Structure 1
Amino acid sequence: MTAAPQTAALLDRLRERLDPVEGPTGLPRFGDADLNGGAAGVPATFADVEIRTAAVVAPLILHDGPPRLLLTERASHLPRHAGQVAFPGGRIDDNGETAAQAAVRELEEEVGISPAHVELIGRFDAYATVTGYHVTPFVGVIKPGYVVRPDPGEVADVFETPFDFLMDPANHQRQSREWQGHVRHFYAMPWQGRYIWGATAGMLKSLHDRLYG
């Protein structure tokens, strides 16, 4: 099969399986609690954290080769999640901004890809983190001609990972480590020296389940 039919089939599946871009997101269906004995959000140990809403984009590149996702490595000096691999995204403003608007805005602020070069094609399940974020993730197709200009205040690096690798269940490892006195279990998808784990890997797992589960 040539690359063009594969790309068309992937787009068809995304449009069929994902939720509309605009619309109510509801409570998270997935989260850090999934592998830690919790349900509908975060484990009870972290139930008193402040809930904050956020949105991210899973930027999908379909031209110039096989499909791949663009990911960031967060700057090492950030107070939260420093050095971790993440989707571009951040908090939703309290001024009536929608999740979709926040996702596109953060994509431009963090990595410099303008709204003119991204088409949000769908939304998948909201994700709850142990730090109190309810994250709405979108898939956005990145159009040719985009330029990546990472904000050094937030992003240390930007890289691409094959979509097929991230959607292969064989690469969805379950790992654990101690965090704040508790053993935390999480998904991890190490790829060529990049350690994709935690909420980002959890959202990728939920995207896989939405598309292929």
Structure 2
Amino acid sequence: MTGNDLIETVEAALGRPGAATSDYDLNPDVVLPEGRVLRDAAVLVALMPSPDGARVVLTKRSSALKHHPGQISFPGGKREGDETLPTTALREAEEEIALDRRQVRLIGTLPPHETVTSFQVTPHVGVIEGPFNPVAELGEVAEIFSVPLHHVLDLDNYVIERRRWRGQWRQYFVVPYGPYYIWGATARMLRSLADQVRP
């Protein structure tokens, strides 16, 4: 399947309804408080056509950051002021990886994802059109890399692992690729994309 074919498959899948996700999905014993307030955030799931079908752009966060140091993530962040969530995703991608928003054709969104840090993150899926020369945001992004789209769409590549968090065992999805340990919210949102494409 060519890159364009795979991207068209993803675009068609995004038109189907999907279920919201959460960092707590694999931990049914966790009881979330009623009336909790979540802050809006957005990420860009940037798809890049390539000879091996298509790739997903990801970042490795700086180890000097206070929150989630060294973790794999999508470009993204919290909404500022009254901007729309698509604007948030595109702005953050410009800041973090120097992706010109004019190069991105948005093709849909995934259901929102609730994080343990009380954000409601909306993943916006977009296609990078034209040449892209990534530049990492100094102090925020340690590395920019990409993984084959077919790898993260294959449900067999996901495993469930667990670790102690706040005194309790917490389970989460992992979708490793080469030297990259993709886990937590990023892996859960990628799993949501895989579920949409291959229900």
Relative to the length of structure 1, the TM-score reads 0.86
Report the CA distance between 1:139 and its aligned residue. Answer: 1.1
Aligned length: 197
Distance 2:139 2:75 in 1: 13
Is 1:12 the counterpart of 2:14? The answer is: no
Report the residue type matching 2:6 in the other structure: L
2:111 partner amino acid: D
Partner SS state of residue 136, structure 2: coil
Q: Which amino acid aligns with 1:125?
A: P
Q: State whether structure 2 residue 149 is matched by structure 1 residue 163.
A: yes
> Which letter does structure 2 place at the counterpart of 1:151?
E
Structure 1: state its 5+ residue gaps.
Answer: 21-27
SS of 1:104's equivalent in the other structure is helix
Q: 1:56 aligns with which of 33, 40, 43?
A: 43
Which residue of the partner structure matches residue 24 of structure 1? none
Unaligned runs of 5+ in 2: none
Offset at 1:8?
A: 3.3
Structure 1: 4+ residue segments shifted above 4 A: 45-50
The aligned amino acid for 1:89 is G
State whether structure 2 residue 139 is matched by structure 1 residue 153: yes
Residue 83 of structure 2 corresponds to 97
Q: Would the aligned equivalents of 2:3 and 2:52 in 1 still touch at CA under 8 Å?
A: no
2-structure distance, mates of 1:139, 1:46: 30
Does residue 1:109 correspond to 2:100, yes or no?
no
Specify the alignment match of 1:119 in structure 2.
105
Identity, % of aligned pairs?
36
Which residue of 45, 52, 58 corresponds with 1:71? Answer: 58
Q: State the alpha-carbon separation in 1 of the partners of residues 33 and 162 from structure 2.
A: 17
Instruction: Tell me which moved more, 49-58 or 202-211.
Output: 49-58
Shift of 1:167: 1.1
The CA RMSD measured in Å over matched residues stands at 1.9
CA deviations on 1:134-160 (whole Å, 9 max, x unpaired) are 000011111222221110221000111
Q: Is the 8 A contact 2:47 2:128 kept in 1?
A: yes
TM-score by length of 2: 0.92
SS in 2 for 1:186: strand
Bigger CA drift: 198-207 or 60-69?
Answer: 60-69
| Structure-1 separation of matches of 2:67 and 2:100 | 25
